[in-house]
Every structure is written in structure tokens, then in C-alpha cells.
Structure 1
Amino acid sequence: MKSFSLPCGKGIQTVSLDESHLLYDLHGNDVPEVTDEAAAVRKALREPVGTAPLRDVIQATDTVAIVVSDITRLVHTDVMLPVIVEELNSIGVQDAQITVITAQGTHRAHTPEEDAIVCGREMARRLRIVNHDSRNPDRLAYVGTTTHGNAIYLDAEAVKADKVILTGSVAFHPMAGFGGGRKAVLPGISGYETIMRNHAMALTEELGGGCNPLCETSLLEDNPLHDDMRQAAALLNPAFLVNTVFTADGGLYEVVGGHWYDAWKKGCDDLLRIASVPISAQADVTIGSAGGYPKDMNLYQSMKAHMNAVFATKPGGIMIFTLDCPDIKEPAIFTDWFFRSDMAAFETDLRADFSIPAFVAFKSRCIIQSMKQVYIVTRPENFDIIRQSGQIPAATLEEAWAMARKELAAEGKEDYTVTVMSHAAATFPVLQK
């Protein structure tokens, strides 16, 4: 027997497993982190991928729109933006020629304080900052229609600028394959109807088909949602891109810069290399953790564990997670959807009023239903809510494992396999074909 310790909130849960059943003990890769972020950004501007350096792309007379992520994204814009502006100033571009557009997508506008947090106080003082408003037609401009039939309306401030610089962060995304890059354009600075038409591609064309299998984490080829985003960005034709790439633990791995697609694609390839773990088989049981506090503060954040662990688990298998969830009902926009049990009505309503939290809730429930059982080790006051979400609560990991073994015995499975993922939210298993 071997003992395994999994994070749960600010503590741990332990379980003893017969090693003869252990298939994998999966962990993220140990990679070096950038120590001088400003220098890394500067290098990305001067030694770019797929295009000339920024100083050769921008002219001193150009008006420049810099698109930055909103406050909900981990990017380090406050480090990146001053370096970009410094480079523009050295070319001869004055502060008055620069407009920062926060890529709100469908999110609410920032407060002035949030603008300062995202951009840095000096940049917020020096530069004109505009919050994108996807629902205001007077602030949108039509730039063309994609081959998917999506009419692309973008922020007029970006469209009228001589040059556009995209910023953001490359990350895994449950619909678009990867975040960052072209997502700064769609959904970042797109009109509401454009965003809704794009995001609806995450579902199959026919009602009742559920999630589109082509719109999945790490998938770009044949992914219609990604391709629609790519075409939207091409219509804008940004002059340059700067994106950060983070490690599983949130440290900065690299900064990529250059052509708006080629540089971003390098970031995607690098992220897949440093954050994915190859596996040759899926397990009957996966025992995982989101990674403890703050990754399991609520169910919305914790679902990242399910999204990754499903790739390590056989369809119809068993998953067990240690999730403390002290704020289990937050945010309400997610939990209001997540606790719905009528999946047919759920899908119908999601198609009529699509949002990322609603889709994450729907996809999570689909993952739960694809399993024989999903057990959640959590605090007792969460038990009723866990049951409401279609999962089975347990007070300890040993208790959950005992219930899982009873389920395996009932199925007559004596040669079952187990995979352990102590940081499932940050570990991406890739099944080798």
C-alpha cells in the first residue's frame, strides 16, 4: 500500500492505494521561470516571431490602439504595457497617439481603479483608456463576415487606428482550444451578437447534441469556434502581438511577440509542451484535487479539475475530487446554471442565452453524467449542494475511496486501474494515439 496526500483547501486529504492498481501518479512539468519580466517583454518586441521588430512595424505618425485583457485575466499587463509604450515612444509615437482598449467581451466595464490595477497607475494616468462595450452599436464597426456566416462587428476605436497591438495570455481554453491571441479580438472587442454567434459553435448544430467535440481544450485543427475567431482577427489584421505564457503554478514561463497568429501559435505549442503530460491509457478511477486553496474556493474554479481529469478517465468510470469550496455558491451566475438537473431544458436555455459560465456549468454536468459516479470530498455544509449537482459527497478521501471500491466490486471489476492527479486543474493529460 502507498499513501497519497492531496490538497483540499488549506489542508490535505490522504488515501492508501494498492500500488498494483496504480496506473499513473500525474504531475505537471517542472520548468524554469522568467526572472526579469520587463526584459522578456522587450526581447519579444525586438526579436519577434513571424514579423519585423515593433519599431519597424510602427511609424512615428501612426495612431496605435493597444488591446489589453480585462481584470478577470491573469496577464501581467501592468508589467507589459509600460515596456510597449516605452518602445513606441522611442519610435516617436507620442502618448496622445495611443489608445488602450480593455477587451471586456461581454463583461462589465472597469472602474477607474480597476483600469489602474490592470494597466498600472502611471499608464492609467498617461494614456487614454477605453472600455469596450459590446452592446453599444454606436461604438462598433462592421469589418466583414467569416466563412462561418458570422458578421464581425468590432470596437470602432480599434478599427480606425492606424495600427493595432494585441496583448493577452496564452492558456488552455475549454472551447477555443487555447486562450490569448485572436481572442483579444473575438470575443475581446467584438459586438454582442458576433460573440454569441461565435460561442454558440461550442454546441452542436442540432438541439440535443450537447457540446461540440471539435471545440475542446488544446484542439485547434477543425475547431470552428477557433477558426471563426482567427478569421475575425484577420479582418482586423493587427500589426503586432505580445502574449505571456504561464507555468502550471502561475509563474511566467515566457513572453511571445510578433505576428498576431504565428507568435501566439508558438505560445500555444510551448504551453502544451510544458503543461501537458502524455498517457498511454485511461484509468477506471481518477483521484484528483484542484490544487487546494485558492483553486478550490468555489465550484466554478474547481471544475477545472474535472475538465482535465476527464481525459485521464475511461468513459463511464469513476472520479473522486478533494474540493474544500468555502464559497461553494459563488459566482451565482455559474451556480444558478450548474444546479439545474433537466439537461434537455438546460441545453435549450443555454442556446438561447449563451455565456461562458453557463457553458462551463453545462459542460461540467455533461462530464459528470458521462461517469459512473463522481465523489466530492468536501466540508459537511456543502453536502446538499454537491448532491444537487449530481455528485456524491464524502467527508474524507478514505470514505470516498471506500464507496468507489464498493461500486467497482458491484461491477465485478477486480483488475481496475487508478490514476492520481494531485493538481488536476493544472495538469493536462494527453492520451497518445
Structure 2
Amino acid sequence: MALKRYDLNIGKRMESIELPEEHVVQVIDGGSVSKITDIKQATLEAVRNPIGTQALSKLVHEGDKVALIVSDITRTWSRTKDYLPAVVEELNNSGIPDADIFVIIATGTHRDNDDEEKRLILGDALFARLQVFDHDAYGSEANVFLGTTSRGTPVYIDKRAVEADKVILTGGITTHLFAGFGGGRKSVMPGLAGVETIKHNHLLALTDEVGGGVNQETYLTKIEGNRVSEDMCEVCAFLNPCFLVNSIMDAEGDFVRIVAGHWYDAWYAGTQEVMKLQGVEAKAKADVVIGSSGGYPMDINLYQGMKSYAPAQMAMQPNGIFIALLDCPDIYEPPSFFDCFRFNDELSMEKELRAGFTIPFYIAFYMYCMSKQFTVIMVTRPENFDAVRRTGQIPAATLAEAWTLAQKKLMAQGKAETYTVNIMPHGVNTVPMFK
């Protein structure tokens, strides 16, 4: 029985484990891709050779009032300020002066952004040149009713965007826990939507019947048949933006692709690029998954580190065991997430979620449900143990201790000699793909 050592990041250090090689199915980890070195040139090439529509210069005309939709301060990873100047330059060269361009920050139900945050989103130059507005999801006068989707979602959209002659979406594309992927239509729903629209759409991530929990057809990377995503697309179609520019970033936060063109076609092409970046062909699901989010800063708190849980679940057998390595020096942050673990049972938590759906609440509910469906052991700091137990997980101080707990569970399942293991060193940025 040959033992092999596996090293995984946790916080700013490493944890190691030695496992019999014959029990390890696969180390599921992505490869490297080439980075964009000239962001301006890549942006101009994208908007001049778009996907699914004409070049941006042919879609806008002198006299048009153009609304640029940008992500808020919580999405600065998409680095809007680095590629948006090239988009504005292309508009200027196409007969659209700065006076006819304005920016709407797609806050959804998030708070407004202060001036310093707007500078971080747009960069100093564009912030000084263009009018900038925050979307208001709660203002009855700020949003216009456009109709109802096939799933009954009332469509209220930012009045400024509706009244613009042309709307251009920007943002970034990555995987999303229940919408499949972010980016694209999410700039409109929830970005520019009224609170009633957002609540009705997001509740589609749960089953129709109370007590059913998470809708199993709304999950990471799924687009077709994902009713949350499809409803978002219907909402976006009411506004029908004329163009889209989205970035795709690697795990280091560098540009690997910029996609531009039709608001759906270009976004969809971008999702396929994300899968080339994050998707890894997996051999088989395993009884145990040992996963790291990649270490600091991805595991600075549970809210961030939890992004590795859905990919791990995809690589795990039913009734499997997940060992998560998360340092979490700020485990209670943000309070809007951790305060959701105040319930003693799934049903009470679900009812409260349905009454006041928020993304942090849904993520907490997903984690709580996962801890009931699987055995989840979290390697973390001893001072976090009480907090970990609140989430339904089992705490452990070291990977060796977690493996001992996992072995006892495997023995109880009659798998002491037959167990299989998948290892995911960068779970936040890895998606197992099965044929």
C-alpha cells in the first residue's frame, strides 16, 4: 500500500495528508491559461468583432442617450475600470459625446455606493467625466413596470435605463450558486430590477412547496432548465440591451478573455470560456472529497470559503464526506450571513428564507442543508469550533484529525477498505465535469 502526500492551503499555511494512492480517484484541479496583456486592445477587438450582433460603432448613432450599466462595489473583481475606458472611447469615436453617456450602477438590493467606491468602480477619469447614478430597487417612482414573465415575475426596471436610447451591459462572468453563471443578464435582473422582481425571481431557487428546500434544478453552471436563469433572461429581454461587454478573470484576478456583443449570445459564449478555465474533466464521484478554497484570502471567512462547497458536492457520492479546509479568521463576517444560522431545524430556516429572501440567507441555508445531506468536517481554528457547530458542520483542528473522523464514518458505512477520495486544492475556482 503506497502512501502519497497531498498538500493543501488553509489560510496562509499548508496542511498535509498521506493517503494510499489506490484510494485516490483524482486530484481535481484546473490548469493555467494565457492572460491578456493589453486590456485596451483586447476590449477594442471584442467590441469591433462582437458575438451575435454588429460592431458597437454600428449600433449607436449621433444623438443617442447611452446608459452604461456597471457592477457595484461588491464586484470590483471584474475590474470594470480597466476596460470601460476603451468602451467609452469607442462610443466617443462613434459620435456619442460624454454628455450623452451616463452610468447606472447595478446595485440590485445592495446599498448605494459612495463617491470613493464609485471612483474604484469607474476609475478617476471616467468618474470625473460621466454622470453616475445608483439604481434604486425600492423606489416606486424609480422603476417602470414592463410586463410579467412566463413564470409570473412582475418586471420592474430602472426608469433611467428604460428611457435611454441604448443600454450597454458590463460586468464579469463566473459561476453562480443558483443562477448557474453570473454576468450577462444579471446586470438587469437583479442589477436594475425592482425589489418585487428580485424577490419573485430568487424564490425560484427554492422548490414550489414549503419544506422542499433547495430547487435541485438551480445550481452551479446549469443554464438550460435552470428556471432562475431562464427567468432572468426573460426579465432582461423586456429591456433588450443593445450590447454587452463582460470580463473573464483567472484565479489570480487577471484578465483571460473579454467577450462582447449580443446580451445573451456573447454572455453564453463567455460561460463556455469560464468552463474552459474552471472546468476539469472528472473521473468519478468519490466517497470523500478533501477540498481547500485555495487559502487566503479565499477563506478569510465562511461566506467566501463556502464557494468551494458546491463544486465539492458535485464530486461527491450521495451520503459522502466533505473535509473542508477553511482558516476563517473572520468567521462571523459578514453578520448578514452568519446571523442566519440561528435556527434549530431546516424547516424553520426555510420558512424564514422564503419570507425574506437574501443571497447571504440562501447561501447559509444551502450550507445548512448540505451539512444534513452529507458529513461535512471543517478544518479550522479551535476558536471557531462553536461557530462551526452552529452551521451543522463538525469542527477539526487539523487535517489529520478530520481524516480520523472521516475514517470512523467510513467504517460505520462499511467502506473502511473500499472508500474513494477526490482532492480539490482550489475548490473556489474548480468545477468537476462528468461525461
TMscore range, shorter length = over 0.9
402-411 or 171-180: which moved more?
402-411
Select the residue among 383, 387, 390 that pairs with 1:388: 390
CA distance in 1, matches of 2:83, 2:108: 21
> For 1:255-278, what per-residue CA distance to the aligned partner results, in whole angstroms no more than 9, with x for missing partners?
000111101100011111221112
8 Å contact 1:341–1:389 — kept in the other structure?
Answer: no
Aligned position for 1:406: 408
Q: How far has the Cα of 1:339 moved from its partner?
A: 4.7
Q: Which range moves more in the overlay, 337-346 or 27-36?
A: 337-346
Find out whether 1:120 has 2:120 as its counterpart: no
Partner of 1:214: 217
Per-residue Cα deviation, 1:126-170 (whole angstroms, up to 9, x for no partner): 100000010001111112211111111100000000000000111
1:44 and 1:385 map into 2 onto residues whose CA distance is: 46
Superposed, 1:308-323 pairs within 5 Å as 308-323=311-326
Identify which range, 353-362 or 376-385, moves more after superposition. Answer: 376-385
Q: Which has the higher mean CA deviation after the structures are superposed, 130-139 or 334-343? A: 334-343
Matched with 2:28 is 26
Distance 1:143 1:204 in 2: 26
2:28 and 2:282 in contact (8 A); partners too: no
- Which residue is 1:106 aligned to? 109
Query: In the TM superposition, what are the counterparts of 1:132-151 in structure 2 within 5 Å?
Result: 132-151=135-154
CA deviation map 1:94-143 (0-9, x unaligned): 11111100000000000011011101111111100000010001111112
Pairwise CA distance, 1:393: 1.2
Q: Give the 3-state SS of the residue equivalent to 1:100 in structure 2.
A: strand
Match of 1:202 in 2: 205
Q: Name the structure 2 match of 1:95.
A: 98
2:14 aligns to what? 12
What SS does structure 2 have at the residue aligned with 1:72? helix
Alignment partner, residue 245 of structure 1: 248
Residue aligned with 1:141, SS: strand
The aligned counterpart of 2:335 is 332
What TM-score, normalized to structure 1? 0.98
Q: Distance in 2 between matches of 1:395 and 1:427?
A: 25
SS of the residue corresponding to residue 231 of structure 1 reads helix
Q: Is the 8 A contact 1:174 1:217 kept in 2?
A: yes
Q: Is the 8 A contact 1:42 1:84 kept in 2?
A: yes
State how far apart, in whole Å, the 2-side matches of 1:294 and 1:268 are: 24
**Separation (CA, whole Å) in 2 of partners of 1:25 and 1:222:** 30
Q: Which runs of 5+ in 2 are unaligned?
A: none
Q: Is the 8 A contact 1:248 1:275 kept in 2?
A: no
Q: Which residue of 2 aligns with 1:288?
A: 291
Instruction: Give the TM-score normalised by structure 2.
Output: 0.97
Moved more, 280-289 or 107-116: 280-289
RMSD: 1.0
Percent identity among equivalent residues? 46
Question: Structure 2: which amino acid aligns with 1:219?
Answer: K
Match of 2:57 among 40, 55, 58: 55
Unaligned runs of 5+ in 1: none
Structure 1 distance, partners of 2:87, 2:428, is 32
AA partner of residue 288 (structure 1): G
**What is the CA distance between 1:410 and its match in structure 2?**
2.4
Give the Å deviation of 1:365: 1.2
Q: Quote how far apart the aligned CAs of 1:240 are.
A: 0.5
On the 8 A contact 2:367/2:391 being kept in 1, the answer is no
Map 1:156-305 → 2, pairs under 5 A? 156-305=159-308
CA distance in 1 between partners of 2:136 and 2:420 (Å): 50
Alpha-carbon separation, structure 2, partners of 1:91 and 1:426: 38
Distance 1:99 1:341 in 2: 48
SS in 1 for 2:74: coil
Superposition deviation, residue 431 in structure 1: 2.5
Question: What is the CA-CA distance between 1:249 and the residue it aligns to?
Answer: 3.5
Distance 1:412 1:227 in 2: 42
